[in-house]
Amino acid sequence: MKKSRPVPFRFVQILAVLAVMFLVVSAAAAESEFEPCFCFDSGLNARKKAPTNARFLTEGAYTLTPLDPKKADKYGVDPEYMPDTKGMDTLNISGSAEFSGDQFRELAKRLRELANGKEIYIVDCRIEDHALLNGISVSWYGKRNWANKGKTLAEAEEDERARFGALEGSVVTVYTVSGDTLGKSVEMEVTSVMFEKELVENEGFHYLRLPCLDHSWPDEEAVDQFIGFVQTIDPDRSWLHFHCHAGKGRTAIFMAIYDMMKNPDVAFEDIMLRQAMTGGSYLPYADPESDIAEVHAKRAKRIRQIYDYLQEMNGSYTTPWSEWIANQEAGQGMGKQPGNSVSYQSHLLHA
């Protein structure tokens, strides 16, 4: 009986290298093959009357849910620590994921009840194209939900109206999506198209859109826009409802900024934790293992810096955020450096 010859080690090495190269090329091809398409927005469970991840920060309407111990450990947070709730009862803000037409009408009832006569503003934190097809929220979804990356708000809205406005009377394929994985598809005969601004204004509410890419910190001009907007309203007579795609990241950013503006004497970490414990992302954390770790790291850095900015401005805003952060990045800090926060006793917003 002949003995089989051992496979040369060099040959095994070559096979291993080729296998790795194949996997890398396959992964790159799969990434490039993800073409933008129409997708159902998250949280559109037909059995739920309210949009997913809805929370209401006003007296008697919210609950602080302690972080899961594993998440707390990952974030470097004491799982037993409960943040200061000072000012939460009078924040008069809420947040959620995107909504269908029926979900929004149910949400509107709740907002009117809680607002008790206050002006209601719906703050749309999405730059991606989205609209209601037959009353169901659908968006134009690219890889990482970044189909509109690099576009201005005006460009995105023009594209949105052209893309969705042409769908009425046609049949369109709409997918479910999880991350960047497409699920089941549905052939939808489009009988009606409605844009969010119209939906909001039909309820007698005000509409504000702040362009922000998913998973990301907003452009500095969008932050300027929001801070400028807040200065035009009476916080004691206004209710703000924020939403993005899933109601966690971008929604939490702007809810946290508003919280910082109204409650400057509450510590940064307390604001971050109370926003996370009511349904938002824990913004100071950036997962180093994520394939967009740099994007999350910038978001974590900026949320700390804007706290310092708001503390330094103390309600005057003589220097726009975009100018302040540009000076910080250029090493020309205008006072204290990011991270060296101080507290002011006077509120930044007045009646």
Residue 285 lies in a domain: yes
Tens digits of residue pLDDT in 124-157: 999 999 999 999 999 999 999 999 999 999 999 9
pLDDT attached to residue 286: 96
pLDDT attached to residue 179: 81
Tens digits of residue pLDDT in 253-290: 999 999 999 999 999 999 999 999 999 999 999 999 99
Least confident of 13-17, 75-79, 119-123, 320-324: 13-17
> 228 and 82 in contact (C-beta within 8 Å)?
no
Q: Which pLDDT band holds residue 49 (cuts at 50, 70, 90)? A: confident
Residue 3 lies in a domain: no
Residue 210 lies in a domain: yes
Domains in the chain: how many in total?
A: 1
pLDDT(345) > 60: no
Tens digits of residue pLDDT in 290-334: 999 999 999 999 999 999 999 999 999 999 999 999 999 998 665
pLDDT attached to residue 180: 82
Q: Which pLDDT band holds residue 347 (cuts at 50, 70, 90)? A: very low
Mean pLDDT of 43-56: 78
Backbone CA torsion sign across 65, 69, 75, 77: positive
Query: What is the domain range of residue 211?
Result: 50-126+197-329
pLDDT(336) > 80: no
* % residues pLDDT > 70 (the chain): 83
| Residue bearing the bigger pLDDT, 48 or 195 | 195
Residue 90 lies in a domain: yes
Mean pLDDT of 192-213: 98
Tens digits of residue pLDDT in 209-240: 999 999 999 999 999 999 999 999 999 999 99
| Cβ count within 10 A of residue 87 | 18
State the pairing for strand pair 238-243/119-124: parallel
Q: Which pLDDT band holds residue 30 (cuts at 50, 70, 90)? A: very low
Q: What is the CATH number of the domain that holds 246?
A: 3.90.190.10
How much is the mean pLDDT over the chain?
A: 88
Mean pLDDT of 152-172: 97
pLDDT(16) > 80: no
* % residues pLDDT > 90 (the chain): 79
Residue 80 lies in a domain: yes
Confidence (pTM): 0.85
pLDDT attached to residue 333: 60
Mean pLDDT of 33-51: 77
Residue 114 backbone phi and psi in degrees, to 5: -75, -35
pLDDT attached to residue 261: 98
Residue 314 lies in a domain: yes
pLDDT(19) > 50: no
Residue 337 lies in a domain: no
pLDDT(123) > 90: yes
Residue 113 lies in a domain: yes
How far apart are alpha carbons 118 and 252 in whole angstroms?
Answer: 22
pLDDT attached to residue 5: 55
pLDDT attached to residue 346: 27
